[in-house]
Structure 1
Amino acid sequence: MQPETTIIARPETASPTTRSAVHKTVLMCRPEHFTVSYRINPWMHPEIPTSTSVAIEQWQSLHDAYVSLGFDVELIDPIAGLDDMVYAANGGFTLDGHAYGAKFTYEQRVPEGPAYMEWFAANGFEVHEPEHINEGEGDFLLSNGAILAGHGFRTSLESHEEVRRIFDREVVSLRLVDPAFYHLDTAIAILGDDNIAYLPTAFDDASRAELERRYPHAVLVTEEDASVLGLNSFGDGRTMVIAGRAADFDRQLTERGYATVGLDLSELLRGGGGIKCCTLELRR
């Protein structure tokens, strides 16, 4: 089965907003050992067979999309037995040449933390070993100089203070309340330096009010699009790589002057991850 790729690139002149791309460097992990052999989130059903070859094809389509956008793509070697290592975003959080390592909630993923920290150290980052439970860029997103920080399911609130201390940035704690959106990067997409897209019902009242205050012009995504991990997307400020099935999200982005690349990562969705989950931004 070949992965379905939909590329939708509309001229910038179709919108009054002209957007500029910011060069990105990302870390990815080829899913050579991908399968679903346990259940640690609502998307995972070990009784349903998965296809590693299809997962690799779909992952490759994402890798190639990034290369076509001019991204620098670096790779970490996959490790046998670590089914979820393809979800590189969970491996840590990097900023200003520092890397904050991950300390996973579930024992099946615990070995990923040291593997990613070893890679960071070998590739020029000053590594900070975590004291508290956190799942990296799955729950830490950089926006307008501040770090949006999720908690409620996978990342502890205590880790937010660690991040504040290490990076000396404002940290905005946001509480997730829907088990289907257990990482922040499944409920928020960073669109650029100063705006986001998000699913309001994924957050408690206080967090939702904070998002409304900070981002009055945010894109509000439908439950239907969020349910295919439409918000689990990544871009460079001009082009957003999104789930191909997130049709209304695509429409809203287009209306705001973004180009979009729609991909099918449905096999990797069986593990609870999408485009952003497979993407760890490297900020040296």
Structure 2
Amino acid sequence: MKIPPNLRVCVFAEQALNSTPKDEELEPSWFRNLAWYFFEQWFSKHGYECVGDLDIAFEGAGDALWGGAGNRTLFTGVGPRTDVRALRDLTERLDDGSSWKALGCRLVDPRFYHIDTAFCPLNEELAIYYPYAFDHITQHNMHNETDLLAVSDKEARNFACNAVVVGRNVVMHHQNDEIANKLEKLGFSVK
């Protein structure tokens, strides 16, 4: 039996939306239902309302990243592991009355199966991304929400965008010197 991947959760305000993987082989429905039970128990105990539709594939935090002005845009990867219907589910279930939006970002290169493998918001104004992981309409829409700094194909394949950002500190996979140098010139510290 294959070990199922880690549960990924999208938390917003007082709500938690559990991941619902598409791939029955990676995460069989019996496991998903059991995991959902424990997920609800833990989050409910800690004051969160658990929401989400088990019938709509949503990969969770791996396909949902906040960015853009005021961090009010939820860049949501759709394609290999997240169903486009998750956009509506997200916006309806996580509606807290504030003005935010979910932006569907269609992933078209199978090497980049989650948005966090090809896109990384650095702050409210800037993100790094691999343009060819996304269709042309998505590239255009992403440019409308934030400034984008492209990474090379080589560095994208080395998961340069699969980074962690804390303030002006960026932790990324090693051997991504080209993008690391660009970020350092912009005042970021890259580790």
TM-score with structure 2 setting the length: 0.84
Pairing 1:94–2:94 present: no
CA RMSD of aligned residues (A): 1.9
- How far 1:122 moved relative to its partner? 3.5
Counterpart of 1:154?
81
Aligned equivalent of 1:183, options 107, 114, 125: 114
Aligned equivalent of 1:120, options 22, 30, 43: 43
In structure 2, C-alpha distance between the alignment counterparts of 1:171 and 1:225, rounded to whole Å: 27
Question: Structure 1, residues 173-232: CA drift from partner, whole Å, max 9, x if none?
Answer: 1111000001111110010123211100011010011122222x3221111111111101
Structure 1 pair 248–122 and aligned structure 2 pair: CA distance change class (3 A): farther
Aligned equivalent of 2:90, options 134, 139, 163: 163
Gaps of 5+ in 2: none
Pairing 1:135–2:59 present: yes
Q: Which letter maps to 2:62?
A: G
Aligned equivalent of 1:247, options 132, 155, 177: 177
The secondary structure found in structure 2 opposite 1:109 is coil
Counterpart of 2:124?
193
In structure 1, C-alpha distance between the alignment counterparts of 2:40 and 2:184, rounded to whole Å: 38
In structure 2, C-alpha distance between the alignment counterparts of 1:173 and 1:121, rounded to whole Å: 29
Structure 1 pair 100–199 and aligned structure 2 pair: CA distance change class (3 A): same
Q: Which letter maps to 1:190?
A: P
Q: Which letter maps to 2:140?
A: A
In structure 2, C-alpha distance between the alignment counterparts of 1:234 and 1:170, rounded to whole Å: 23
In structure 2, C-alpha distance between the alignment counterparts of 1:257 and 1:221, rounded to whole Å: 17
The secondary structure found in structure 1 opposite 2:172 is strand
TM-score with structure 1 setting the length: 0.58
8 Å CA contact 2:64, 2:74 repeated in 1 = yes
8 Å CA contact 1:192, 1:236 repeated in 2 = no
Q: Which letter maps to 2:107?
A: L
The secondary structure found in structure 2 opposite 1:156 is coil
Aligned equivalent of 1:105, options 19, 22, 30: 22
**Structure with larger RCO (C-alpha < 8 A, sep 6+):** 1
Question: Structure 1, residues 37-77: CA drift from partner, whole Å, max 9, x if none?
Answer: 86xxxxxxxxxxxxxxxxxxxxxxxxxxxxxxxxxxxxxxx
Gaps of 5+ in 1: 1-36, 39-80, 262-284
Counterpart of 2:136?
205
In structure 2, C-alpha distance between the alignment counterparts of 1:116 and 1:251, rounded to whole Å: 41
In structure 2, C-alpha distance between the alignment counterparts of 1:118 and 1:249, rounded to whole Å: 42
Structure 1 pair 247–175 and aligned structure 2 pair: CA distance change class (3 A): same
In structure 2, C-alpha distance between the alignment counterparts of 1:202 and 1:187, rounded to whole Å: 6
In structure 1, C-alpha distance between the alignment counterparts of 2:11 and 2:75, rounded to whole Å: 14
In structure 2, C-alpha distance between the alignment counterparts of 1:122 and 1:230, rounded to whole Å: 37
Question: Structure 1, residues 240-265: CA drift from partner, whole Å, max 9, x if none?
Answer: 1111122212111111101122xxxx
